[in-house]
Amino acid sequence: MTVNILDVSLRDGSHSVRHAFTADQVREAAKGMNAAGVRYFEVSHGDGLGGSSLQYGLSATDELKLIEAAAGECTTSEVAVLLIPGIGTKGDLQAAVKAGAKMVRVATHVTEADVAAQHIQLGRELGLKTAGFLMMSHMASVEEIVKQASLFESYGAEIVYVTDSAGAMLPKDVTERICALKQTLQCEIGFHAHNNLSMAMANTVAAVEAGATFIDGSLRALGAGAGNTQTEVMVAVLEKMGYETGIDLYELIDTANNVIAPIMQQPQEITGGSLILGHSGVYSSFLLHAQKAAKQFGVHERDILKQIGKLKAVGGQEDLIYEVAQDLAR
């Protein structure tokens, strides 16, 4: 069985480096992944196209320049982008295609797939490999995920992703969701993990064994929270399990060590804050915002995150982090 690996180092990893990627860094990473045979890798602001803002974090370099830099190094690889309706627009997607994007993943909260119809349809019209991305999938029942995934497929999605944005799932949760989608949908199924409970690799293996054929990872686990499934490790594990990835492991390790590692501001590890993300089911990109708010208001980041989890906050509610911190300070 062939498993398609999509690397998110240059998108999810943007959160970890505070959206400070340079065109040269992206170019070198793209060159290495292309040489290693990574079929797809994602390039954009951490919160997707159009994400550069005061609320989500300003990008040091325009994302269209980063997409152009990456696309210029691709001979066999293809550049993917993330688009969250309400943050990115159809115009942003059209501009990304002109810059060299060949794939789009349209992301919504797990119960809001209906807001993505026009964006998925546009992706297909533009000739892109088009996927639906169900964020915070731990927050919905299996039945609800099937319902929302079916909407994505009806709009034209060629792949539907179960996305563990909070790193809150256990392998049985992943297996139940992937199996249910395999039994219901005709399109391919993908899985995106975060490592906040140290379960990213186990969850990835569970997804593949349940029938997922598109799997995300990031080199050196560079991503929001405690990071993602580590791409180079995942390739090695899948090869030992007998799956085909089409990736040169040695080339991938060299890119991880020589290109990605020097970019990282700190090693990707499970800190107390990232552990609370997974334990409380909080969106992984909230970690740096919580750390900033904790310092600003003199409270502990874990108290902020625990309260955010109780409020069931989702992506786009970053302002709530500062309100909670202010309330705790009082």
| Catalytic residue status for 45 | no
Q: What is the pLDDT of residue 316?
A: 83
**What would you report as the CA-atom Rg of the chain, rounded to the nearest whole angstrom?**
18
Q: What is the pLDDT of residue 244?
A: 96
Sequential pLDDT tens for the chain (330 residues): 899 999 999 999 999 999 999 999 999 999 999 999 999 999 999 999 999 998 899 999 999 999 999 999 999 999 999 999 999 999 999 999 999 999 999 999 999 999 999 999 999 999 999 999 999 999 999 999 999 999 999 999 999 999 999 999 999 999 999 999 999 999 999 999 999 999 999 999 999 999 999 999 999 999 999 999 999 999 999 999 999 999 999 999 999 999 999 999 989 999 999 999 999 999 999 999 999 999 999 999 999 999 999 999 988 889 999 999 999 999
Q: What is the pLDDT of residue 1?
A: 83
Q: What is the pLDDT of residue 324?
A: 95
* Residue 330 to residues 236, 297, 299, 326, 327, Cα–Cα distance (Å): 50, 9, 10, 6, 5
* Residue 95 to residues 39, 42, 62, 89, 92, Cα–Cα distance (Å): 22, 15, 12, 10, 5
Cβ contact 37:247 at 8 Å: yes
Taking only the tens place, the pLDDT of each residue in 274-306 is 999 999 999 999 999 999 999 999 999 999 999
Annotated binding site for Mn(2+): 12, 192, 194
Per-residue tokens: 179: 């199996």
Q: What is the pLDDT of residue 314?
A: 87
Q: What is the pLDDT of residue 154?
A: 98
Architecture of domain 4-263: Alpha-Beta Barrel (3.20)
> For the chain, what are the domain ranges?
4-263, 285-329
The CATH number of the structural domain formed by 285-329 is 1.10.8.60
